[in-house]
Amino acid sequence: MSKEKLVVAVVGATGAVGREMLKTLEQREFPAHKVIALASARSAGIKVPFNGTELTVQELTENSFEGVDIAIFSAGGSTSEKFAPFAAKAGCVVVDNSSAWRMDKRCPLVVPEVNPQDLEWHNGIIANPNCSTIQMVVALKPLHDAAKIKRVVVSTYQAVSGTGQKAIEELESQVRQLFNMQQPEPKVYPYQIAFNALPHIDVFLDNDYTKEEMKMVHETVKIMGDESIKVTATAVRIPVFYGHSESVNIETEKKLTPAQARAILTQAPGITVLDNPKEKIYPMAIEAAGEDATFVGRIREDETIANGLNMWIVADNIRKGAALNAVQIAELLIERDLLGVKDTTVFQ
């Protein structure tokens, strides 16, 4: 597919992630002849910036995908469930950022640095993993290849941008309210988020884990392609605007020293190692914001088990955790000549 012919649509183009996707397409000089911005009827007509000009948002309909080669969705699960099958039927390959298709056996769940080979069997819909899962598996994959990970214990410290624009505005307004001696008003979250930490992301399930935590469990196994990896997670929302942080403990079959882990991760794609405690060098959310890389530091031995390591992983949840990963998938589809849908009836 040549640049002269390639047509790309961004679904949910007016949202925070949709706008970041357009920005990422522009910054990476994605080889598209035409980019179309799609959103709900209420957003139709809005202008969104792209490549030094503006795109006029068009209403998303069942017929929006005729002549479109790739559609990058970031419009929520219900929208993806309804419209992604219409795109696939039209021969358009969907890269979906919602949770709608992640655990569907017909859909590859892809992080380009980890399992690009899974794109080979796509049926028209490819799922973008959860933001907290993406940054973790980027760091885990090279260590798994070297020493086989048996168990992962992860605690996340997730930015409010993961909830959306209204959550960003809520944190801003609550900080102002508190500084003006006013009682903050929680609307997006069940409790005050300013100067607080909420061990509650998404809904609680019957096992008392949240849906976010179980996403990390199931998605990690699917992406890594190894059902023997055991994962347990605790997901926490903190008053940071951009950048998810994770405390990750791994147990491996083979002994891996911190020095060996640093050497492996330094050579791994998509990773920047920031790990010099003596000089107070370690990853932080404020430095990861706006960056493409996944940052890893605080790599140290878990002295309670024979083969264990602790590490601290940070990435921009809107960038690598959503927009960049989706665009990287689209780039691979072109590079590997995987555009088009072989069987347009799979999701009908």
Examine the pLDDT at 335 and tell me if it is beyond 60.
yes
Position 1 confidence tier, pLDDT thresholds 50, 70, 90: very low
Spot the catalytic one: 131, 144, 200, 218. 131
Residue 246 tokens read as 């994770």
Q: What is the pTM of this model?
A: 0.95
- What Å distances lie between residue 73 and 112, 121, 159, CA to CA? 17, 20, 21
Check 92, 122, 144, 244 and give the catalytic one.
Answer: 244
Q: Does pLDDT of 40 surpass 60?
A: yes
Indicate if the pLDDT at residue 168 is higher than 80.
yes
Helix (H) or strand (E) holding 335: helix 324-335
Q: Note if 92 is an active site residue.
A: no
Which segment of 14-18, 233-237, 316-320 scores lowest on mean pLDDT? 14-18
Q: Over the stretch 277-305, which tens digit does the pLDDT of each residue have?
A: 999 999 999 999 999 999 999 999 999 99
> Is residue 90 a contact partner of residue 345, using CB atoms and an 8 Å limit?
no
User: Is the model's pLDDT at 2 over the cut of 60?
Assistant: no
pLDDT digits (tens, 9 = 90+) for 50-65: 999 999 999 999 999 9
* Three-state secondary structure call for residue 289: coil
Percent of the chain with pLDDT over 70: 99
Residues in contact with 50: Cβ distance below 8 Å, sequence separation at least 6, in sequence order: 22, 25, 26, 35, 37
SS3 percent helix, strand, coil of the chain, rounded to 5, is 35, 25, 40
DSSP line for 45-111: T-EEEETTEEEEPEEP-TTTTTT-SEEEE-S-HHHHHHHHHHHHHTTPEEEE-SSTTTT-TTS-B--
Measured between alpha carbons, how far is 197 from 212 in angstroms, rounded to an integer? 16
Residue 244 annotated among the catalytic residues of the structure: yes
Q: What percent of the chain has pLDDT over 90?
A: 97
Among 121, 202, 116, smallest CA distance to 156 is for 202
pLDDT of residue 253: 98
Going through the chain in order, the beta strands assigned E by DSSP cover 7-11, 34-39, 47-50, 53-56, 58-59, 70-73, 93-96, 125-127, 149-158, 230-237, 244-252, 271-273, 294-301, 308-315
Model pLDDT, residue 301: 98
In whole angstroms, give the CA distance from residue 16 to residue 159: 14
Which residue carries 């699917």 as its tokens?
222
**pLDDT tens digit sequence for 183-235:** 999 999 999 999 999 999 999 999 999 999 999 999 999 999 999 999 999 99
Q: Which of 261, 27, 38 is nearest to 149 (CA)?
A: 261
Q: For residue 4, is pLDDT > 70?
A: no
Mean pLDDT for 254-277 is 98
Residue 314 pairs in a beta bridge with: 245, 295
Q: Counting Cβ atoms within 10 Å, is residue 1 exposed (0-12), middle (13-18) or buried (19+)?
A: middle
Is residue 337 pLDDT above 90, yes or no? yes
Is pLDDT above 50 for 42?
Answer: yes
* C-alpha distances out from residue 226 to 230, 254, 255, Å: 9, 16, 19
- What is the rounded CA–CA span in Å between residue 59 and residue 151? 45
E strand segments, 159-286 = 230-237, 244-252, 271-273
Residue 5 or residue 200, greater confidence: 200
What residues contact residue 263 under an 8 Å CB cut-off, 6+ apart? none
pLDDT at position 87 is: 98
